[in-house]
Structure 1
Amino acid sequence: MSSLPNETIIRPSSGPKTFDLRELMQYRDLLLLLIRRDFVARYKQTILGPLWAILQPVMTAIVFTVVFGKVAKIPTDEAPPFLFYLSGMLFWQLFAGSVSAAGNSLQANATLFTKVYFPRIIPSLATLASQLIPFSIQFGIFTGFYIWYLLMSDVAQLHALRLIWLPVLLLLVFTLALGISLTYSALTAKYRDLNHALGFLIQLGLYVTPVIYPVSQVSENWRWLVWLNPMAAPITTCKWIFLDAGALPLIPLLSSMAFAIILLPLSMRFFHRIQRTFVDTV
């Protein structure tokens, strides 16, 4: 039986593929719609709404200041403990929130996939992009505390030229989050029990990443283990930019960039390979 004149047959492409940028542009309206949906759904039927984006990092920084700064007395490279922890949480929460939300994009949108065609990477992109909204709010709060610190301190100073690293860090963290979340979502599509490990892994990652401690407190013999974590360099760099804590970790930062550049196309190919048949087996 021949196909109807206006019938369009959609088949999964074969061979290695990352994504079609032109096709993504055709579905940009859907991308924007899903970004809005993810942000609204996160704070829908909550008492404080988007204020949670402010309270969570501030309260976390206060707890860290008391527990690790006052009780455990972990040094912060002469930086104010509250700002030290708050700056460390900036990019970590962007990364952790993006991976947590986007890591389940295939399963979360399985019913939608069976009804209409669109590039399967769009929900992951939308989830990551929606994380930029609370990140912007948190960055604004940090900026307010930071300006107050500059005004109240006699020795603190703003290193304006270092601010050019911020877009680099944002792009690096976003790329790392996208690559890892695509890989994880593809894996959880085949192995459902990995969903239970995600929260534990992110919680463990908080403590193996130099968020609550400076890299200078790690023995030089073991410091290379810290730099194996691709998130260690951007978080340490953020503290260096604003608080002059430690030194610019240039080599680890370049290594993180290289890792992100290699990871992203590999994760996209793996994601594409899994999503071709995911709807048939869900």
Structure 2
Amino acid sequence: MNSRENESWLFEISAKRKLIDLNFREIWRYRDLLFLFVKRDLVTVYKQTVLGPLWFFIQPLFTSVIFTLVFNNIAAIDTGVVPAFLFNLAGITAWNYFKICLMGTSGTFRANAAIFGKVYFPRFIVPMSKVISNLVKFGIQCLILIGFYIYYAVYLEIPIAPDRYLWLFPVYVILMAILGLGLGMIITTFTTKYRDMSILIGFAVQLLMYISAVPFPIKALKEKVPEYSWVVDYNPIAYLMEGFRRSVFGTDLLYFSWNSFFLIIITCIVTFFIGLTMFNRTEKTFIDTV
């Protein structure tokens, strides 16, 4: 009897966990499951569709054309030396990654309730898989952006080129992933009790795009309607989108400051840990309410 009591267990599953608990060792142990979820997200999204992965290309291109017609041709928003279509394509590429990370993780508990109720694995793997699979889609859309970038810069000889802030490009991508993941985990904790949140989030994200400087530069908003500049002044996502484009185009038309950059970093990290805390707390009891 004593020998069994003194046995050391390889794994111990307990409901008593820290609120801020990100066990990388356990996640690494379940890496095969993580890759399986990533593969599932990539394969099933456009399964049984006619165009399949071509939607990765069609959606940003058509949206960029519409934005160019509405915001640049009709509303006469100036994008400086950067071609309007290319400006919009960069903004949409960045926004799509942030949006899909947010939307993909915001329904984690409800979409995976059947799996969570039957077998144990680190729950954080599911939202993490969304961020990784969406990174693949983001990479594909970046190839489109690079293709048009080369076309305008080399073939049409438009004077656009990255500058010293280009090294911030991967930093902004990571920040978009962290912020989308953090906000998504916060929202998914509410959707377990309040199903209205799943409807509200789709509507809210659409509105959020227009106040996050996606279809226009921040300076253009402050020049045209300075009374509404507070909309972006208190919106870190706007500076995240603007900084992403600044690292790509290297033009002074796009606003950048180190103060706003470090504020974005702090906001993303704080949001992530708040989301992780709420996620870990909710995963213990959500199965009773979902």
- Residue 276 of structure 1 aligns to a residue whose secondary structure is coil
**2:218–2:255 Cα contact (<8 Å) kept:** no
Identify the residue that residue 208 of structure 2 maps to in structure 1: 205
Give the counterpart of 1:278 among 270, 279, 286: 286
Whole-angstrom CA distance in 2 between matches of 1:11 and 1:233: 41
Whole-angstrom CA distance in 2 between matches of 1:217 and 1:151: 27
For the pair 1:195 / 2:159, whether they are aligned, the reply is no
Whole-angstrom CA distance in 1 between matches of 2:16 and 2:192: 19
Deviation at 1:194, TM superposition (A): 0.6
| Distance verdict in 2 for CA 1:247–1:11, change over 3 Å | closer
Identify the residue that residue 37 of structure 1 maps to in structure 2: 40
AA of the residue aligned to 1:252: S
For the pair 1:69 / 2:67, whether they are aligned, the reply is no
Whole-angstrom CA distance in 1 between matches of 2:188 and 2:158: 47
Give the 5 Å matches for 1:200-239: 200-219=203-222, 222-239=228-245
**2:82–2:160 Cα contact (<8 Å) kept:** no
Whole-angstrom CA distance in 2 between matches of 1:68 and 1:222: 17
For the pair 1:85 / 2:88, whether they are aligned, the reply is yes
Deviation at 1:39, TM superposition (A): 1.0
Deviation at 1:15, TM superposition (A): 4.6
**1:18–1:265 Cα contact (<8 Å) kept:** no
Identify the residue that residue 128 of structure 1 maps to in structure 2: 131
**2:68–2:88 Cα contact (<8 Å) kept:** yes
**2:81–2:159 Cα contact (<8 Å) kept:** no
Whole-angstrom CA distance in 1 between matches of 2:121 and 2:175: 27
Whole-angstrom CA distance in 2 between matches of 1:66 and 1:223: 23
Identify the residue that residue 165 of structure 1 maps to in structure 2: 168
Whole-angstrom CA distance in 2 between matches of 1:67 and 1:129: 33
Deviation at 1:18, TM superposition (A): 2.6
| Distance verdict in 2 for CA 1:151–1:227, change over 3 Å | same
Whole-angstrom CA distance in 2 between matches of 1:115 and 1:150: 54
Give the counterpart of 2:273 among 258, 265, 269: 265
CA deviation string 1:121-171 (max 9, x = no partner): 111111121111111110000000001111134451423533211111011
**1:169–1:234 Cα contact (<8 Å) kept:** yes
Identify the residue that residue 247 of structure 2 maps to in structure 1: 241
**1:88–1:212 Cα contact (<8 Å) kept:** yes
Give the 5 Å matches for 1:108-127: 108-127=111-130
CA deviation string 1:210-255 (max 9, x = no partner): 0111111223565343032221112112222333132423322221
Identify the residue that residue 25 of structure 2 maps to in structure 1: 22
CA deviation string 1:77-118 (max 9, x = no partner): 342110010011111100111111111011101000111100
Normalising to structure 2: TM-score of the pair?
A: 0.90
**2:192–2:289 Cα contact (<8 Å) kept:** no
- Identity among equivalent positions (%) equals 33
| Distance verdict in 2 for CA 1:155–1:128, change over 3 Å | closer
**1:53–1:137 Cα contact (<8 Å) kept:** yes
Q: Which runs of 5+ in 1 are unaligned?
A: none
Whole-angstrom CA distance in 2 between matches of 1:265 and 1:38: 25
Whole-angstrom CA distance in 2 between matches of 1:227 and 1:173: 18
For the pair 1:97 / 2:97, whether they are aligned, the reply is no
Whole-angstrom CA distance in 2 between matches of 1:163 and 1:24: 32
CA deviation string 1:10-53 (max 9, x = no partner): 43124533321111111111000000001111110111111101
Identify the residue that residue 260 of structure 2 maps to in structure 1: 252
Aligned residues: 280
Superposition CA RMSD, Å: 2.2
Whole-angstrom CA distance in 2 between matches of 1:249 and 1:42: 38
Whole-angstrom CA distance in 1 between matches of 2:159 and 2:112: 48
Whole-angstrom CA distance in 1 between matches of 2:17 and 2:85: 52
Segment of structure 1 superposing worse, 32-41 or 221-230? 221-230
Whole-angstrom CA distance in 1 between matches of 2:84 and 2:12: 59
CA deviation string 1:191-215 (max 9, x = no partner): 1111110110110011111011111
Normalising to structure 1: TM-score of the pair?
A: 0.92
